[in-house]
Structure 1
Amino acid sequence: MHLFDDPLFQMHAERALTLIGRGGAEYGECVTTAGHIRAGDRDSWYRAWSATASRVAAAAEQSAAQGHRVSAADGFWRATTYNRMSYQPLFGSPVDPRLEAAFKRERDCFGRYAALAPHPVELVEVPFEGATLPGCLCLPDSARGHARPTLVGVNGYDSNIHEMYWAHALPAVRRGYACLLVDGPGQGRALVQQGLRMRPDWETVLRPVIDYASGRPEIDAERIAVMGWSFGGYLAPRGVSGDQRVAALIADPGLFDPVDVLPLPPELKEQLPDIDPEVLDAYLAPVADDPVMRWRLVQRALWVHGLDSLGAYVIEMDRYRLSGAAGRITCPTLVVANDDDPLAAQAELLLDALGGPRTLVRFRAEDGAKGHCQAWNRSLFDQRAFDWLDATLRVGRHGEG
């Protein structure tokens, strides 16, 4: 599924391609869109994906007007993806007005999908520090009148609840779980429209989410599991370390002290956090020469954290550590390691530091699950993760226990 020679554009395109198996994109639509994009041209990228999103959404509107709910839902679901695709390369601060406009269109399309989805999908607001965080509560039809075991999804850097829906909610609901997705500070709407920045003390974020979940009659407060993906592999464990109500945890991948894997010489790492950021800036300057790393760090990370230099970013990341918190995690925990995912390099460090029952699940190239967070074989990941979760929460058929 190679669409671009440009490594940055190919990386972004794969975010859509991996959704094909779950109805979030179509290969033909992706190929056609790619044909209208000039190499390295972010403007043509934005125009092409926006045009595809508009065309697919318009067809969905027509189906909805004629009472074809399934066709309309399918179209709005794909249009959600294509709108998100359009603004990915535009990440950065100050926020590009096109990113804000495309994000609003993405939210609108997902809202239309939610109203037509084959199972209950409720857009919710979770109280948080005098404001609210955007959430999405997804339920199996069998949940009506019954409190269900529930998966709470914790996001990473550059995703949102709409993308988490296919990765977390769809497999959870199929197995009889309720699923609550929430964007915290530095994620989704909380970042784009509310200006909330990422923070290391995720226990302050997860606690009100669990409060909200525990108050919903559809959710079994004794069987709430938390799953973090991507940078959520740090955020979810950090959050659970401060909340003993969580019954199970999945870290995909398992992160520990992410700053320790940054490509810095020991003599600079030893000076953290008291080092002069300009010293780090000088060392890290070549990062900007690589388009993928420039997007990940200069555009994305500085925006998410509200910083203005790579040196300041490294110093900030020194605050993101599980080495002092992992021992407080006493619930059963599944730690994911993938040989193809550099972020999984510290998975066994997290495993060894946990204070409760722990299981390591490893994905290898021969499993066909390459890519960050097993992007190219989420079905295999779901099988292993949810089978473990079923056994841990004593969940039987249809999510009943």
Structure 2
Amino acid sequence: MNQPHTSLPRRRGFMAAAASSLALPVLAQNGPAPGAEPKPAQGLERSRTRVAGFADAEMDYQLLRQLGTARYGGASVGECLALAQRIQNGDPASWIAQFAAAGARQQADAQARAQRGHAHSARDQYLVACNSFRAAEYYSGVLDPQHARLGLHSRDCFAAAMRAQGSAFEAFTLPWGDTPLPAYYFRNPQAGTRPGKTLLIISGYDGTLEETWLAYGRAALERGYHLMLLTGPGQMDTLRFHPRLAFVPEYERIGKLALDHVLARPGTDARRVALMGISYGGYFASRIAAHEPRLRALIANSPIVDLHAYMVSFAGFDPAEMPDAQDIHLADIDHIPPSELPAQTREMMRNLMLRLGQDSFKQAYQRLRQFRVDDAGLARIRCPALALVGSGEGAEPLTQYRHFIKTVGGPVTGHVFSAEEGADGHCQVANLAYSAAVSMDWLDETFAT
């Protein structure tokens, strides 16, 4: 058993740097949240809701992520801003409590409207509730029972929304030993009886099947695609059922299962099957495409070819090379005072270790070295590819984006989103509709030729 309190002075500098290594690129912050209910108005004013985010950069990014889904029905701007006023800045427990309560309220409202025969209103409220539960799930520790409970609430609300709108929606699993992998399939009614074009989408570290539908799946269905959403070991949907199932580098194994499944469906046109990867999914999708000639198009948002270098860039040093005396083990975390390791950083570090199947922070970064698509693999990607990245994501994502474009073996198109478009952040969460326009238009044009 490690005794973390005996070496805390040596760890202080490390932990400050380690905290930055755990956050993905974030958008600009908008200022602190009040953290309390506003006092009643003394005079006439337009609204007591204020457009204010969080001083904490990661929490501010998560708020923007939630706001961004409003375009496709996953949130209401007013409710998100009202929640922000009640959440304590940088406090995960406060965030979880407020979003879980909002999800329960929205779900109850959806159920009441469904019982009164208002299917459209029920669908809309179920979608918002689904995404509120997902937001609460994000900050929950993966071994905490509430993590699975919140995630399954999100899943149930999504299924209720699909039933309310009469979608041709199928929840199923792909075989992965004793731990089947969750997946969704949507047959596009516009296709009729003829085989149609199909888009497979895989998210990343903390995205879910339901959020992926909100971010890009709905846009794909609107454009006439059959849609398959898949997930692999270590991803959020799988953790709801198997919380100790860790990520694997060899995502081509999951890709093979998904393609075997979708190509066996009678509605699939094998000449028009594309794969999109979001966030860490940019690595997963690129790795799959390097081994799968059955893919006819690839969208990497963003194209991560070296996950270890990607994560190291946010720390400013490589935790895989840190002295053993400064390492933090799973058994250490709860013994470190909050003044040394804030609650948000504590859970992010714990989750990273668990989801990579490692006992310490150093070991987690050593494991990340295996998550690579080498140049030979990139050269094997012969299908048309689209590489997407935000100009505000940082130097390493932009470096990997350029390397991907230079090294991929087939025709490749690149697009860098700008701050002027409000899309410069990671995965363009603040302007999903424009990101969908760029990616789906490219895919339409690729399949047209």
Mapped contact 2:92–2:344 kept (Cα < 8 A): no
Task: Tell me the residue number matched to 1:294.
Answer: 345
1:236-315 aligned at under 5 Å gives the runs 236-261=285-310, 262-263=312-313, 278=324, 281=327, 294=345, 298-315=349-366
Task: Tell me the residue number matched to 1:327.
Answer: 379
Give the 3 Å change call, closer, same or farther, for CA 277–393 of structure 1 in structure 2. Answer: farther
1:31-42 aligned at under 5 Å gives the runs 31-42=81-92
Instruction: Give 3-state SS (helix, strand or coil) of 2:430's partner.
Output: coil
* Inter-partner Cα distance in structure 2 for 1:394 and 1:225: 13
Task: Tell me the residue number matched to 1:166.
Answer: 214
* Inter-partner Cα distance in structure 2 for 1:293 and 1:102: 18
Task: Tell me the residue number matched to 1:214.
Answer: 263
Mapped contact 2:148–2:239 kept (Cα < 8 A): no
Task: Tell me the residue number matched to 1:21.
Answer: 71
Mapped contact 2:72–2:215 kept (Cα < 8 A): no
Question: Displaced runs of 4+ in structure 1, greater than 6 A?
Answer: none
Higher radius of gyration, 1 or 2: 2
RMSD: 2.6
Task: Tell me the residue number matched to 2:118.
Answer: 68
Task: Tell me the residue number matched to 1:149.
Answer: 197
Instruction: Give 3-state SS (helix, strand or coil) of 2:170's partner.
Output: strand
Q: Summarize deviations over 1:354-379 as a string: whole Å, max 9, x none.
A: 11111111222223312111111122
Task: Tell me the residue number matched to 2:444.
Answer: 390
Gaps of 5+ in 2: 1-50, 334-338
Cα distance, 1:144 vs structure 2 = 3.6
Q: Summarize deviations over 1:140-189 as a string: whole Å, max 9, x none.
A: 32134232111100110011101101122111011101110011111123
Task: Tell me the residue number matched to 1:398.
Answer: none
> What is the TM-score of this pair, normalised by structure 2?
0.79
Give the 3 Å change call, closer, same or farther, for CA 277–194 of structure 1 in structure 2. Answer: farther
Mapped contact 2:86–2:98 kept (Cα < 8 A): yes
Give the 3 Å change call, closer, same or farther, for CA 114–336 of structure 1 in structure 2. Answer: same
Query: Does 74-83 or 140-149 show the bigger shift?
Result: 140-149
Mapped contact 1:224–1:247 kept (Cα < 8 A): yes
Instruction: Give 3-state SS (helix, strand or coil) of 2:175's partner.
Output: strand
Task: Tell me the residue number matched to 1:340.
Answer: 392
Give the 3 Å change call, closer, same or farther, for CA 68–291 of structure 1 in structure 2. Answer: same
Gaps of 5+ in 1: 396-401
* Inter-partner Cα distance in structure 1 for 2:343 and 2:254: 29
Cα distance, 1:307 vs structure 2 = 1.7
Mapped contact 1:138–1:169 kept (Cα < 8 A): no
Q: Summarize deviations over 1:266-324 as a string: whole Å, max 9, x none.
A: 9x79xx7xx68727738xx9xx9686983685133222212222211111111011124
Task: Tell me the residue number matched to 2:168.
Answer: 120
Tell me, yes or no, if structure 1 residue 189 matches structure 2 residue 270.
no
Mapped contact 2:64–2:430 kept (Cα < 8 A): no
Mapped contact 1:114–1:122 kept (Cα < 8 A): no
* Inter-partner Cα distance in structure 2 for 1:39 and 1:213: 44
The count of residues paired between Structure 1 and Structure 2 equals 385
Query: Does 42-51 or 184-193 show the bigger shift?
Result: 42-51
Task: Tell me the residue number matched to 2:423.
Answer: 369
Q: For residue 159 of structure 1, what is the amino acid of its counterpart?
A: G
* Inter-partner Cα distance in structure 1 for 2:91 and 2:122: 32
Give the 3 Å change call, closer, same or farther, for CA 239–279 of structure 1 in structure 2. Answer: farther
Query: Does 107-116 or 38-47 show the bigger shift?
Result: 38-47
Q: For residue 413 of structure 2, what is the amino acid of its counterpart?
A: T
Between the aligned residues of both structures, percent identity stands at 29
Q: Which residue of the other structure, out of 93, 96, 121, is the alignment partner of 1:46?
A: 96
Mapped contact 1:240–1:246 kept (Cα < 8 A): yes
Cα distance, 1:45 vs structure 2 = 2.3
Mapped contact 1:242–1:328 kept (Cα < 8 A): yes
Relative contact order (alpha carbons < 8 A, sep ≥ 6): 1 or 2 greater? 2
Task: Tell me the residue number matched to 1:349.
Answer: 403
